[in-house]
């Protein structure tokens, strides 16, 4: 990925998304950016996490939002198969550090 592309990706992922593309958690909380996602997952109960990320319905709402709204295909791909909340959070926090250090 070239330098300009990395910069655009970093800015998109680390900034607030447009109001019409926020993520609504099933408990009525709103996520506007990757930082809020990480903080929300950290404080989220297991039932809420599993509502959005589960094998029963082949569902991974957070990865889909990261891919479609934040346009971070690399992170979305890493999260696609993860079902453990703490592992999920670890991958997101690592990605934030990577993007912040670029």
* Tens-digit pLDDT profile for residues 43-54: 999 999 999 999
Helix (H) or strand (E) holding 54: strand 53-54
Tell me which residue of 27, 12, 95, 21 sits closest to 65, measured CA to CA.
Answer: 21
pLDDT tens profile 16-25: 999 999 999 9
Which of the four pLDDT bands, split at 50, 70 and 90, describes residue 96? very high
Residue 26 resides in a domain: no
Task: Give a yes or no: residue 25 inside a domain.
Answer: no
Range 26-52 average pLDDT = 96
- The average confidence (pLDDT) of the chain is 94
pTM score, whole prediction: 0.93
Q: Does some domain include residue 12? A: no
Q: Which residues contact 52 (CB under 8 A, 6 or more apart)?
A: 25, 26, 59, 60, 61, 62
User: 24 pairs with which residues across the strands?
Assistant: 30
Does residue 73 fall inside a structural domain? yes
Total number of domains in the chain: 1
- Containing domain of residue 62, as a range? 33-102
In a domain, 39, yes or no: yes
């Amino acid at each position: 990925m070239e330098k300009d592309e990395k910069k655009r990706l970093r800015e998109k992922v680390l900034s607030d998304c447009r109001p019409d593309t926020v993520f609504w958690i099933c408990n009525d909380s709103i996520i506007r950016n990757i930082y809020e996602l990480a903080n929300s997952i950290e404080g989220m109960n297991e039932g809420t996490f599993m509502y959005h990320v589960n094998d029963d319905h082949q569902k991974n709402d957070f990865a889909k939002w990261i891919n479609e709204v934040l346009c971070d295909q690399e992170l979305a791909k890493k999260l696609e198969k993860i079902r453990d909340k703490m592992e999920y959070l670890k991958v997101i926090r690592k990605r934030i550090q990577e993007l912040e250090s670029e």
